[in-house]
Amino acid sequence: MEMPELVMENIIWFSDFRSVLKLRQVCRKFRDFIDDLNDSKLPDSKFANIEVISKKDENEITLFLVEPKDSHRSFHSIEYSESENSRSFNEKITNLGNSNIVDVAIRDLEWVLKFQKSNLNRLHFEFDDFQLQNDSSLYTLPFKLSNMLNVSGRKIKTRELSIKTYNKSHIMSILPFADSETLKTLDFCSFDPEMEIEIDEIAKTEQWKKANTLKCDFHLLNLNVEDICHFSSIDLKVDSITAGDLDFLRKAYISSSNFERLRFDLKLFNEQVELSNIWGPAFDSQLAIIWYFRIKDSEEKVLRIEIFYYNMIPRVYYATCFSIIELRSVLNGAILHDYNEN
């Protein structure tokens, strides 16, 4: 005797994510029924974080599903092994036969995202460099992932999008599929500390324009400071920056009610004299040279701009830091400039 569809729908609605995955394995008819269900009739998996990590050395893909802090279980881990052609989940190992592990991992992730109705705190992708291994199919992961997201038409609602890669093209293969209304933090990290990236295309996206925190471990080329002044918190690497650009940012931040901090890590800085011509003499703390500027419509908040250097053999690196501090934290003997929007 077949179970009525309404009963089957109720069973699925009141089941958790893991239970529904098990139900799909009961029989082909049950699997087809679940697969054809409208997303609105599926339960919310309520994951806090989702991470997709590929590992060159192990020839593996791992899908981490992190539960909220108040959950009885901290996380689920699904591992896909190319060498064993298998999937491991909850200590159960499944041989994938003729299936490609990248396709299986993508299909599983598609299911996870289909169930995820609440906002994620963090969505993380980590693409190790498989292009050096032509016999591995794992290098296709970013491209197949992008195709899946494009076909589904789904925007992923996550507060933070984090991408770690050797290949800068992977950023644009993922970034457009994050929901720009939900996204708050962009975190781009490279396996290669010297990797450079042009940001023209990235800076044009709605995701970039609407996020308020930016962390980028790539060295940014052709940076236009007008493209970053809307962020409230920024960590960047650039080869160098001009006194004119720093003054543009100063003017933007002393008039902003949202700005918190900015740090530029630089390979070269030789604009100290030019800055002194624009801002006046700096205060030398022995650790850094510092300027202080009053903030618009505030008696207690001050913009501090510091420039310092540090040795990372065989090279000297420089850093420029902007931060909002309390008036009482201004160092004795330093000049505090009044607010002047010019």
76-120 pLDDT per residue, tens: 889 999 888 899 987 788 888 888 999 999 988 988 888 888 999
- H or E element, residue 273: helix 272-279
pLDDT value at residue 40: 65
Q: Would you state the pLDDT for residue 1? A: 41
Confidence of residue 336 (pLDDT cuts 50, 70, 90): very high
pLDDT grade for 61, boundaries at 50, 70 and 90:
very high
At residue 69, does pLDDT exceed 80? no
- The structure tokens 């007008």 sit at 226
For position 169, what pLDDT does the model report?
A: 87
- Strand segments, DSSP code E, in the chain are 49-55, 60-66, 75-81, 86-89, 92-95, 122-127, 160-165, 185-190, 196-198, 213-221, 233-238, 261-266, 283-284, 289-294, 301-312, 315-326, 336-337
The residue-averaged pLDDT of 6-29 equals 66
Secondary structure letter of residue 30 according to DSSP: H
**Residues in a beta bridge with 49:** 66, 122
Task: Determine the average pLDDT of the residues in 294-310.
Answer: 93
> Does residue 256 carry a pLDDT above 70?
yes
pTM beyond 0.75: the answer is yes
Q: Which two tokens stand for residue 53?
A: 């990590």
pLDDT of residue 97: 87
Q: For residues 281, 284, 290 and 292, what is the CA-based torsion angle, rounded to 10 degrees? A: -60
Q: Rounded to 5, what percent of the chain is helix, strand, coil? A: 30, 30, 40
Q: For residue range 117-155, what is the model confidence (pLDDT) as tens digits?
A: 899 999 999 998 655 555 678 888 999 999 999 998 889
Write the CA distances from 264 to 206, 210, 270, 313, integer angstroms: 23, 21, 14, 19
Average pLDDT of the residues in 48-69: 88
Among candidates 279, 289, 295, 342, which has minimal Cα distance to 320? 289
Mean pLDDT of the chain: 87
Q: Please, what is the Cα angle at 330 between 324 and 331, to 5 degrees?
A: 140
pLDDT of 191 reads 87
Q: What is the mean pLDDT of residues 315-322?
A: 86
Q: How confident is the model at residue 313 (pLDDT cuts 50, 70, 90)?
A: low
Q: In which residue are the tokens 């016999």 written? A: 135
- Judged by average pLDDT, the poorest of 27-31, 99-103, 234-238, 267-271 is 27-31
Mean pLDDT score, 324-337: 95
For the cut 90, the answer to whether the pLDDT of residue 157 exceeds it is yes
d(CA 194, CA 144): 27
Distances from the Cα of 252 to the Cα of 53, 247, 255, 257, 295, angstroms: 38, 9, 6, 10, 10
pLDDT higher than threshold 90 for residue 2: no
How many other β-carbons are positioned within 10 Å of the β-carbon of residue 158? 22
The distance between the two most distant Cα atoms of the chain, rounded to a whole number of Å, is 88
26-30, 158-162, 199-203, 274-278: least confident range: 26-30
Residue 41 has pLDDT above 80, yes or no: no
**pLDDT value of residue 182:** 97
Question: What percent of the chain clears pLDDT 90, i.e. is strictly above it?
Answer: 54
Exposed/middle/buried for residue 271 (C-beta within 10 Å: 0-12, 13-18, 19+): buried
Helix (H) or strand (E) segment spanning residue 22: helix 17-23
User: Worst-scoring range by mean pLDDT, 47-61, 66-80, 325-339?
Assistant: 66-80
| pLDDT above 90: residue 186 | yes
CA atoms within 13 A of residue 154's CA, in its CB half-sphere: 19
Using DSSP, state whether 63 is helix, strand or coil.
strand
Buried b (16+ CB within 10 A) or exposed e, 84-108: ebbbbbeeeeeebeeebbbebbbeb
pLDDT band per the 50, 70, 90 thresholds, residue 312: low
pLDDT of residue 55: 85
